[in-house]
Amino acid sequence: MLRLPHTTFLVDDYDDAISYFTNTLEFTLVDDTPLSDSKRWVIVESGRQAGRLLLALPSNDEQVAHLGKAAGGRVAYFLYTTDFHGYHARLSERGVHFEESPRHEVYGWVCVFRDKYGNRWDLIEDLEEHSGTRTVVSRHFEALARHDADAFFATLSSDVAWSTGSDVMSGISEVRELFDAGFWSWKPEITITSVVVDGRHAMAEIHEILHVAGQSLEFDIAIALSVDAGLITSVKTYREGSNET
């Protein structure tokens, strides 16, 4: 068994660094033990038993020259949060320098910031906490894309509320009727553009191609979904060109 419990992080003052990590970045002080008149064993962590940094003072000129230059100027640290936008706002209010506006990637929201020493960090949306919702939503669209009706309906709760345009269906039997009436015969081609997850809720953007009466009809669709106990409980679709808001 292997473990990498700590990573050395160069700072210029112990107390100032502790204040920065605990008050600004919301880390927790794990240990602060004096080792000599000038040296202390100081450890902070980003979460319970995760992401521990050993705060250390440079001991020579070469180490001083590397202060704030972790990874040679590349992003050196990756900080995950389940409250991306809230945490980003709090850091911004505390004067943290962000190099860019938050952007959404396939792995979630991300934004690069520099700490007070000059090191670069990726602030990233933690999708592990939302993996249940994301997994169910992904399974739902994957089944739709391969025209697997059984797997598709298996992602829906028995009392699912499904709204599309002016049609509102209550329960999985009504949703089945909608799809069995002709949707599967249109051989839908589905491309997932993006999926944003917030707890039990998700918003997906998909590009859909339907093959109807010898024509290929293309649509961009936004879909809001809610998940509970591993099943989708509500679906609301917004099709390109509709006048819904």
> How far apart (Å, rounded) are the C-alpha atoms in residues 179 and 209?
15
Judge contact between 117 and 132, C-beta under 8 A.
no
- Looking at residue 241, its pLDDT comes to 56
Residues 75-126, CATH architecture: Roll (3.10)
Q: Which pLDDT tens digit goes with each residue over 159-196?
A: 999 998 778 889 999 988 888 877 777 788 888 888 88
Residues 134-155: tens digit of each pLDDT: 888 888 888 888 888 888 888 8
Query: What local confidence, expressed as pLDDT, does residue 138 receive?
Result: 85
Of 46-55, 66-75, 92-101, the one with minimum mean pLDDT is 46-55
CATH fold of 130-239, please? Answer: Nuclear Transport Factor 2; Chain: A, (3.10.450)
Which residue has better confidence, 159 or 241? 159
> Looking at residues 18-25, what average pLDDT do you find?
98
Determine the average pLDDT of the residues in 42-67: 92
pLDDT confidence band for 49 (50 / 70 / 90): low
- pLDDT value at residue 129: 56
Task: Give the pLDDT mean for 225-242.
Answer: 82
Higher pLDDT, 49 or 97: 97
> What pLDDT does residue 243 have?
45
pLDDT of 108 above 50 = yes
In 45-154, which ranges are continuous DSSP H helix? 61-65, 84-93, 131-145, 149-153
- Report whether 51 contacts 45 (CB < 8 A): yes
- Look at residue 245 in the predicted model and tell me its pLDDT: 43
What percent of the chain has pLDDT above 90? 50
E strand spans, 48-107? 50-56, 75-81, 97-98, 103-105
CATH topology identical between 1-67 and 130-239: no
How far CA 61 is from CA of 12, 40, 57, 66, in Å, comes to 12, 19, 11, 9
Mean pLDDT of the chain: 88
Rounded mean pLDDT of 107-136? 85
pTM of the model: 0.57
Joined together, the tokens standing for residue 184 give 């599967």
Domain over 1-67 is classified CATH 3.10.180.10 = yes
Domain locations along the chain? 1-67, 75-126, 130-239
Under 8 Å CB-to-CB from 41, ≥6 apart: which residues? 31, 32, 33, 34, 35, 54
**How far is Cα 100 from Cα 198, in angstroms, rounded to an integer?**
22
Q: 209 vs 22, which has greater pLDDT?
A: 22
Residue 131 sits at the vertex; the CA angle it makes with 107 and 175, to the nearest 5 degrees, is 105
pLDDT of residue 210: 82
